[in-house]
Chains A and B, each alone.
Chain A
Amino acid sequence: MANSDPPLLSVRELTVTFDAFTAVDRVSFDLHEGQTLAVVGESGSGKSVTALSIMRLVELGTRGRITGGEILFRLPDGAVIDLIQQSESVMRDMRGNNISMIFQEPLTSLNPVYTVGNQVAEAVMLHQGLDRAEAMDRALEVFELVRIPEARQRLGEYPHQLSGGMRQRVMIAMALSCDPTVLIADEPTTALDVTIQAQILGLMRELQNETNAAVIIITHDMGVVAEVADDVVVMNQSRVVEQGSVYDIFERPAEPYTRALLASVPQLGSMAGRDEPARFDLVGEA
């Protein structure tokens, strides 16, 4: 992807407050077609609030207020709109169709009393105006897209009948069901076992090649960042500390915070040839 293309999404000076607390402080970054951008940070850094603000979900059900900045989104016809200025009814149409989101815990995002096929079909009916039979066909199509084995049979199962990994596949299928141009994944593999996480990361990369969607992945895990991201935004205490290509961030981190964060990441293989356990070499530790 050439970064000279106009960005699909451009977050500029975004500021979000919760009463007196500034959770996101003048955050800016661009997202281009086909790009995977990781927003990485520790608890309370503002990374999830940033994601919820792009979806305009931060003002629903929380005391969060977007108090400044722009979130410029390029529609398929080329027109650019500021999501912050859109009404809730416009946003309802944008969510799912243009931008969709997957969350950490698929079990709380799925309704336990409907089959997973019904839930995916409902999203498609709502957003794309298909009838039930067409919507079920689309659900089957996206189940196969995310490589759910025995997809037709799984459509009729309930969330509790699926493993955590399969439920996350259902969530990804649902998020992709309306062909969004931007997919936001908030800690999509954090609740999964490591072998299942590897499958989901591999799947997300493959799907990106197939659909050319732009992906924002919100994570605390530098390993996940290194595996999937093209570019990285490092956040700490509500602000962007540093941003750059994944190679810049891992190999030439400019900011002390980024260097400290990387120094505290346990690296598989870093202990090769040593018999005894070894402390982390932490910056500023007595």
Chain B
Amino acid sequence: MTGVDTTPSTPASGAEDRTPLVVVDDLCKVFPVADRAKIHAVEHVSLQVDRGETLAVVGESGCGKSTLAHLIIRLLDPTGGRIVLDGADITDLSARAMRPHRQKMQIVFQDPFASLDPRRTVGRAVGEPLRVHKVASGNELEERVANLFERVGLERQHARQFPHQFSGGQRQRICIARALALEPELVIADEAVSALDVSIQAQVINLMMDLQAEMGLSYLFISHDLAVVERISHRVAVMYLGQIVELGPRSAIFENPQHSYTKRLLEAVPIADPRRRHHRPLLTDEIPSPRWGPGEAPERVELAEVEPGHFVGVEAPTG
């Protein structure tokens, strides 16, 4: 293991499977761009997702959180590092060899309209993974699709309708139903509730939590919204310029943040309470770019464990 071991230091006990569902070790993704420059999108990221837990990855535009999600689900090939899913190293598997592993992890994207074919019924969309993986057909397929609709709070008759007949929140429920069709163990939610109105967002988050309780799902919850993350996650990783700068239990990150970037991020969140109004200094800092010129490379952030399970990037003293 080349990265820092960010395994939570809880001892294994009981009969249930305590091995992590996903282990990401020293994962890197570099995109070559014009003028021999490179985008270091994901830099030496190590983390794990435990069974039944929600690990949130937070950060601002360009921090690499979505690239990380796409690497884990193998939509992109990493330039370095390993991805282990349920004990199997899937880093270098071909598309065909990935197939059995794909059933174990599914992804839900931000825009449910772009994720559904407007000319097909939503029942067809939800049943598609079952057909592709030859899990079910005929009446059994229909029955399973109907059950999935009910499971996400829709009605079985909805399966015969088309995407434009649904609201944004309903469409996202349909995408969740499709993600659940193969009974995955991991669902990656890539800004899955970000485009929804706040009352609908709360309902979809409640649905995700209910499904987790019922099915023992793990979530990798990619988000820029810290208030949502505080609500839904067990553990949180904060990313900045492709690297994890802080990782730990939810309470450690939100109640005892240590890294300067985590603190800055938390202080920036507008709070829906006029008595807690911030007095903000007039800053003009910009979010730095992960683009590096020829011969340049980002400095690696070393993580130190400050309390059990709480890892913080070591910062150079400012001055």
A binding-site residues for B, Cβ under 8 Å:
42-43, 147-149, 163-166, 193-199, 201-203, 205-206, 220-227, 229, 246-247, 250, 260-280, 282, 285
Contact of B254 among A263, A271, A279 (CB under 8 A): A271
What number of residue pairs across chains A and B have CB atoms under 8 A from each other? 161
Contact of B270 with A223 in the complex, beta carbons under 8 Å: yes
Instruction: List 15 A-B residue pairs with CB atoms under 8 Å apart, sorted by A's residue number.
Output: A43-B197, A147-B282, A166-B286, A193-B60, A198-B280, A199-B284, A221-B198, A226-B272, A227-B271, A247-B274, A266-B230, A269-B254, A272-B254, A275-B249, A277-B250
- Distance of B215 from chain A, by nearest CB (Å): 15
Contact of B202 with A272 in the complex, beta carbons under 8 Å: no
Q: What is the chain A residue whose CB lies nearest that of B251? A: A275
Contact of A42 with B199 in the complex, beta carbons under 8 Å: yes
B4 is an interface residue with CB less than 8 A from chain A: no
- Distance of A28 from chain B, by nearest CB (Å): 23
Task: List, in ascending order, chain A residues with CB within 8 A of B231's CB.
Answer: 266, 270-271, 277-278, 280
Task: List, in ascending order, chain A residues with CB within 8 A of B286's CB.
Answer: 163, 165-166, 196
- Distance of B66 from chain A, by nearest CB (Å): 14
Task: List, in ascending order, chain B residues with CB within 8 A of A268's CB.
Answer: 226-227, 230, 254, 266, 269, 271
Q: What is the chain B residue whose CB lies nearest that of A41? A: B197
Task: List, in ascending order, chain B residues with CB within 8 A of A206's CB.
Answer: 282
Task: List, in ascending order, chain B residues with CB within 8 A of A197's CB.
Answer: 268, 270
Contact of A193 with B224 in the complex, beta carbons under 8 Å: yes
Task: List, in ascending order, chain A residues with CB within 8 A of B230's CB.
Answer: 266, 268-271
Task: List, in ascending order, chain B residues with CB within 8 A of A148's CB.
Answer: 284
- Given known A42-B198, A277-B233, contact A147–B224 (CB-CB < 8 A): no
| Cα-based distance from A165 to B283 in the complex (angstroms) | 11
Contact of A267 with B272 in the complex, beta carbons under 8 Å: yes
B160 is an interface residue with CB less than 8 A from chain A: no
| Cα-based distance from A285 to B60 in the complex (angstroms) | 32
B232 is an interface residue with CB less than 8 A from chain A: yes
Q: What is the chain A residue whose CB lies nearest that of B229? A: A266
Task: List, in ascending order, chain B residues with CB within 8 A of A264's CB.
Answer: 198-199, 201-203
| Cα-based distance from A273 to B250 in the complex (angstroms) | 10
| Cα-based distance from A267 to B266 in the complex (angstroms) | 12
- Distance of B191 from chain A, by nearest CB (Å): 13
Residue of A43, A203, A226 with most partner-chain B CB within 10 A: A226
Q: What is the chain B residue whose CB lies nearest that of A222? A: B272
Contact of A199 with B271 in the complex, beta carbons under 8 Å: no
Task: List, in ascending order, chain A residues with CB within 8 A of B168's CB.
Answer: 43
Q: What is the chain B residue whose CB lies nearest that of A189? A: B270
| Cα-based distance from A278 to B202 in the complex (angstroms) | 11
Residue of B202, B209, B277 with most partner-chain A CB within 10 A: B202
Contact of B270 among A201, A261, A270, A274 (CB under 8 A): A201
Contact of A194 with B273 in the complex, beta carbons under 8 Å: no
